[in-house]
Amino acid sequence: MRLRAALLAALALAACSEKPDDEAVTYLGLDCAQPFEAQAAAIIAQPKLDPAPVVAAEPYRFYSSADGRTSYLITQPAAPAHPAIMMQKAGGGTVVTTGCRYGGQKAYDELHAYLDSLKQWTRK
């Protein structure tokens, strides 16, 4: 549930932030040929990337760009899809989800479907 709230907040910010940034930052794309640990470390080390608060009940770490247009989800050992890294890019009114699967296909597909389902979620 908290993951959903974090993702929705990031996507909402992306939809509202259409002004150009004088200090535009280019965020890393995913390179699934890299080992999980190396790619996770490279993502976390990027400037202007904000980590979501750690929630003990969530087996994921979530990081969003300062402009809200790029978000990463990095699984933790307790996550069913671990190890996996997901990325969402927002722009032009759309959000595209991509990812790297290092573990089981079924759990990865479920995580990917879950993240994609959040794009259509609205509060009633």
Mean pLDDT by 10 residues, the chain (124 residues): 49 48 78 98 94 90 92 94 95 91 95 84 50
Record the tokens describing residue 107, joined without a space.
Answer: 């759990």
The answer to whether residue 123 is domain-embedded is no
Say whether the peptide bond before residue 83 is cis (omega within 30 degrees of 0).
yes
pLDDT the model gives residue 53: 92
The answer to whether residue 34 is domain-embedded is yes
pLDDT the model gives residue 93: 86
pLDDT the model gives residue 19: 46
The answer to whether residue 45 is domain-embedded is yes
pLDDT the model gives residue 5: 47
The answer to whether residue 72 is domain-embedded is yes
The answer to whether residue 124 is domain-embedded is no
CB 112 within 8 A of CB 98: no
Residue 72, φ and ψ in degrees, nearest 5 = -125, 145
Residue with tokens 């993502």: 43
Number of domains in the chain: 1
3-state helix, strand, coil in the chain (%, to 5): 30, 25, 45
Distance, in Å, from the CA atom of 92 to the CA atom of 104, rounded to the nearest integer, reads 32
The parent domain of residue 58 ranges over 2-19+26-118
The answer to whether residue 114 is domain-embedded is yes
